[in-house]
């Protein structure tokens, strides 16, 4: 593993190793978008439309990339986005991600669509944030919120861009479904990927037994492997901003809304006292051809007022993060590359990935002539048609 990690010089390098390491259905689940993958590709390409304009002969010998979010000072403005079922792509993936984030002091958001109990993950990273997919009823919502509160989680993140199930055709073509249904094809994928089979799946079964979806509700959900269990993501189409207001009144800590792409939605969040928003298109995994977040970031920052504005989707380089920060984002979150790093290298892989992009941010602001993140602004950017 050490030699493999030595060959990873950027976040993009982890993907090719993960593709060889993971069974095809799992890699397809992580890497894919929705329908024709147009939103995914447009989001990745959107950062190239902004060019950087450096200012030279500035003293950048003492650079500072630290950022304060909700009372916690982090070492870098790039954190780990919530990713579901990461404990099946890498052994105890949620704990590995959380431990690496704590070690490097960067933000970490645990996904509600996870296979490890949020309480167990919070034990290794008490500063972690928890991202919830809202259950169907107010009673279930209240129970989940109360569970997160009891765990001492400081920041609750509510994702609002999943009102109906996305049409992820690539998952179907690759044979991916949750819960997994045992089959000869699935068994063959395990046999042909022995490092994943022994190092993740079998190790998980021996250590903790059958994985279950642990945090979509206040109680345990469906098992990961089953012939007849259903992972239920239906029933959210009736949810409205009144449910968010209800949670805001019940939740005492910092509250963040994830999945904002509309100025009007940002204004709604501001009006009900939300502390922060994540401008995000879910990594291009929900609505195909949806706009890349960086294109609407400036108008959302303007509407947000005192709210903390963050961004995810498509960040792969320090220069990508710098462009978002120059347009007003306070921090950025990265998903897939950290999943790949965890799959091939566990905690050490994620720590390396954090170091790589953090070092890029520090190096790039030096090249840009902006020794502090607060020095970044739109003057450093030019949009190219």
Q: pLDDT tens across 49-88, in order? A: 999 999 999 999 999 999 999 999 999 999 999 999 999 9
Is the pLDDT higher at 295 or at 182? 295
142 in a known ligand binding site: no
Give me the half-sphere count of Cα atoms (radius 13 Å) on the Cβ side of residue 361.
29
**Residue 180 clears pLDDT 80, i.e. is over it:** no
**Residue 123 clears pLDDT 80, i.e. is over it:** yes
265 in a known ligand binding site: no
**Residue 229 clears pLDDT 80, i.e. is over it:** no
**Per-residue confidence (pLDDT) for residue 233, from 0 to 100:** 58
258 in a known ligand binding site: yes
- What is this structure's pTM? 0.96
Distance of CA 379 to the CA centre of its chain: 29
270-286 confidence digits (pLDDT tens): 999 999 999 999 999 99
Average pLDDT, rounded, for the chain: 95
Spatial distance between the Cα atoms of 122 and 215, rounded to a whole number of angstroms: 13
Spatial distance between the Cα atoms of 274 and 266, rounded to a whole number of angstroms: 9
363 in a known ligand binding site: no
**Per-residue confidence (pLDDT) for residue 178, from 0 to 100:** 73
**Per-residue confidence (pLDDT) for residue 236, from 0 to 100:** 81
**Per-residue confidence (pLDDT) for residue 183, from 0 to 100:** 78
Instruction: Give the residue extent of every domain in the chain.
Output: 1-383
**Per-residue confidence (pLDDT) for residue 175, from 0 to 100:** 85
Spatial distance between the Cα atoms of 370 and 62, rounded to a whole number of angstroms: 10
The DSSP code sequence of 221-239 is --BSB-SS------S-TT-
Specify whether 21 is catalytic: no
Bond preceding residue 179 cis, omega within 30 of 0? yes
Give me the half-sphere count of Cα atoms (radius 13 Å) on the Cβ side of residue 6.
3
Q: Are 323 and 77 in contact (CB under 8 A)?
A: no
Angle between helices 318-326 and 293-304 (to 10 degrees): 40
pLDDT class for 235, splitting at 50, 70, 90?
A: low
CATH code that applies to domain 1-383: 3.20.20.70
Is the pLDDT higher at 251 or at 230? 251
86-109 confidence digits (pLDDT tens): 999 999 999 999 999 999 999 999
The pair phi, psi for residue 332, each rounded to 5°, is: -130, 155
197-221 confidence digits (pLDDT tens): 999 999 999 999 999 999 999 999 8
pLDDT class for 230, splitting at 50, 70, 90?
A: low
Q: Are 94 and 115 in contact (CB under 8 A)?
A: yes
Kindly list the distances between the CA atom of residue 293 and the CA atoms of 261, 280, 284, 352, in Å, as whole numbers in the listed order: 6, 5, 10, 26
Q: How confident is the model over 147-175, as a mean pLDDT?
A: 93
131 in a known ligand binding site: yes
Spatial distance between the Cα atoms of 381 and 22, rounded to a whole number of angstroms: 38
263 in a known ligand binding site: no
168 in a known ligand binding site: yes
24 in a known ligand binding site: no
pLDDT class for 232, splitting at 50, 70, 90?
A: low
46 in a known ligand binding site: no
From 17, 21, 193, 282, the catalytic residue: 282
Assign residue 178 a region: left if phi > 0, alpha if psi is -120 to 50, beta otherwise? beta
Q: Are 303 and 260 in contact (CB under 8 A)?
A: no
Dihedral angle sign, alpha carbons of residues 313, 318, 319, 325: positive
What pairs with residue 104 in β-bridges?
none
Assign residue 221 a region: left if phi > 0, alpha if psi is -120 to 50, beta otherwise? beta
111 in a known ligand binding site: yes
Kindly list the distances between the CA atom of residue 301 and the CA atoms of 109, 254, 295, in Å, as whole numbers in the listed order: 21, 18, 11
Write b or e for each residue in 282-295: b if 16 or more Cβ atoms lie within 10 A of its Cβ, otherwise e.
bbbbbbbebebbbb
282 in a known ligand binding site: yes
pLDDT class for 365, splitting at 50, 70, 90?
A: very high
User: Within the chain, where are the H helices?
Assistant: 2-6, 13-21, 24-31, 38-46, 86-89, 93-104, 118-124, 138-150, 169-174, 184-191, 194-196, 203-208, 241-250, 263-271, 293-304, 318-326, 336-368
19 in a known ligand binding site: no
**Per-residue confidence (pLDDT) for residue 228, from 0 to 100:** 56
What pairs with residue 295 in β-bridges?
none
**Per-residue confidence (pLDDT) for residue 234, from 0 to 100:** 58
What pairs with residue 308 in β-bridges?
276
Spatial distance between the Cα atoms of 50 and 319, rounded to a whole number of angstroms: 10
């Amino acid at each position: 593993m050490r030699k493999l990690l030595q060959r990873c010089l950027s976040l993009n390098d982890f993907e090719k190793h993960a593709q060889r390491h993971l069974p095809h259905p799992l890699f397809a689940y992580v890497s894919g978008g929705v329908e024709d993958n147009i939103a995914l590709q447009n989001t990745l390409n959107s950062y190239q439309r902004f060019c950087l304009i450096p200012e030279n002969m500035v003293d950048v010998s003492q650079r500072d990339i630290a950022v304060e979010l909700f009372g916690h000072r982090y070492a870098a403005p790039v954190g780990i986005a919530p990713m579901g079922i990461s404990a099946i792509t890498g052994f105890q993936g949620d704990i590995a991600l959380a431990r690496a984030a704590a070690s490097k002091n960067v933000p970490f958001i645990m996904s509600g669509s996870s296979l490890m109990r949020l309480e167990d993950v919070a034990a290794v990273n008490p500063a972690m944030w928890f991202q919830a997919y809202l259950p169907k009823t107010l009673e279930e919502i209240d129970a989940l919120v109360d569970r997160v509160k009891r765990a001492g989680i400081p920041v609750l993140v509510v994702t609002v861009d999943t009102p109906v199930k996305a049409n992820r055709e690539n998952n179907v073509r690759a044979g991916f479904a949750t819960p997994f249904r045992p089959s000869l094809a699935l068994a063959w994928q395990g046999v042909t990927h022995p490092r994943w089979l022994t190092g993740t799946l079998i190790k998980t079964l021996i250590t903790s037994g059958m994985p279950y979806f642990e945090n979509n509700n206040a109680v345990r959900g469906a098992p990961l492997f089953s012939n007849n269990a259903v992972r239920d993501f239906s029933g959210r189409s009736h949810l409205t901003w009144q449910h968010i207001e209800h949670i805001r009144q019940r939740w005492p800590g910092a509250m963040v809304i994830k999945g904002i792409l509309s100025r009007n939605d940002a204004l709604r969040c501001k009006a009900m006292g939300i502390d922060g928003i994540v401008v995000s298109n879910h990594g291009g995994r929900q609505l195909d051809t949806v706009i890349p977040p960086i294109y609407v970031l400036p108008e959302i920052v303007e509407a947000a007022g005192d709210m903390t504005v963050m961004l995810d989707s498509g960040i792969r380089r320090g220069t990508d993060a710098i462009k978002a920060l120059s347009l007003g984002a306070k921090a950025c979150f990265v998903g897939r590359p950290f999943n790949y790093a965890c799959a091939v290298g566990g905690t050490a892989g994620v720590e390396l990935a954090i170091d790589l992009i953090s070092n890029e941010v520090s190096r790039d602001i030096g090249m840009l002539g902006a020794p502090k993140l607060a020095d970044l602004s739109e003057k450093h950017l030019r949009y190219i048609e």
